[in-house]
Amino acid sequence: MGAVASLSLLQTHGLTRRYGGLTAVDNVDFALPEGQVHALIGPNGAGKSTFVGMVSGRIEASEGRVEFEGRDVTGLPTHKRIRAGMAYTFQITSIYARLSLFDNVALAMGNRNRDAATEALARVGLDDRADQIAGDLSYGHQRLLEIAMGVAQAPRLLILDEPTQGLAESEIEGFNAIINALRGQTTILLIEHNMNVVMALADAITVLDQGAVLATGAPEAIRADAAVQAAYLGSG
């Protein structure tokens, strides 16, 4: 067991978040091996965004702990977790709309290294728009810019919260290609509703239901799991 734990980049132990009488995340034990693309799925209100909010430090845990690279980071603020190697892109785009794409990426990196910023934009196919104002981009391209801002930080862990929401089918194909290009270079935690994307990209899947882990396993096992089908897959 110890050998497995040492390979996990991220672990949570009994992670719990309560809001008054409501338990949004309930005693979640989770392990994410280094280099893996791991999808977190579940119905609306299952606690996915609350869980990753606690992982990233944006939401305080009521109980339990978060470990990153074997270090307890439960009490660390968000900026220190970012410095430690986490990058989190939001469910809602969080770009600087009045700045250029280059300036957005440079701010995310904390410097103005043009080569590094251009490389991050190239990763998502936006390098030819570096001087364009971010707010003028389509919604889909804004989501891609946000991913570039995450990639530019060269994170150990990249957390993507509903990255394909609002993307056209052709843009989703491009997103899949981006994740496949990043595979093995960074560890990815993907919160995603699009099951075609999940099945195409994930090495492993964890299903949350009513704040608790319903199942964890390979995509084929999750697809075949009767409890998962009843709670989630069967409902849409």
pLDDT tens string 69-117: 999 999 999 999 999 999 988 755 689 999 999 999 999 888 888 899 9
Question: Which pLDDT score, from 0 to 100, does residue 3 have?
Answer: 38
Question: Which pLDDT score, from 0 to 100, does residue 7 have?
Answer: 75
Grade residue 4 by pLDDT with cuts at 50, 70 and 90.
very low
CA–CA dist 6, 9 (Å, integer): 8
pTM for this entry:
0.90
Q: Which helix (H) or strand (E) holds 235?
A: none
pLDDT 10s digits, 189-228: 999 999 999 999 999 999 999 999 999 999 999 999 998 8
Measure the CA angle with vertex 169, ends 176 and 38; round to 5°.
30
What value does the mean pLDDT of the chain take?
91
Question: Which pLDDT score, from 0 to 100, does residue 105 have?
Answer: 95
Question: Which pLDDT score, from 0 to 100, does residue 233 have?
Answer: 60
Question: Which pLDDT score, from 0 to 100, does residue 234 have?
Answer: 55
Q: What percent of the chain has pLDDT over 70?
A: 94
CA–CA dist 117, 129 (Å, integer): 12
Rounded average pLDDT over 162-190: 92
pLDDT 10s digits, 226-236: 988 887 765 44
Cite the DSSP H helix spans in 152-225: 169-182, 195-201, 219-224
CA–CA dist 211, 25 (Å, integer): 4
Domain ranges in the chain are 34-60+76-235
The residues with which 22 forms a beta bridge, in sequence order, are 19
pLDDT 10s digits, 9-63: 999 999 999 999 999 999 999 999 999 999 999 988 899 999 999 999 999 999 9
- Residue 158 and residue 188 in contact, taking contact as beta carbons nearer than 8 Å: yes
Question: Which pLDDT score, from 0 to 100, does residue 92 have?
Answer: 59
Fold category of 34-60+76-235 in CATH: Rossmann fold (3.40.50)
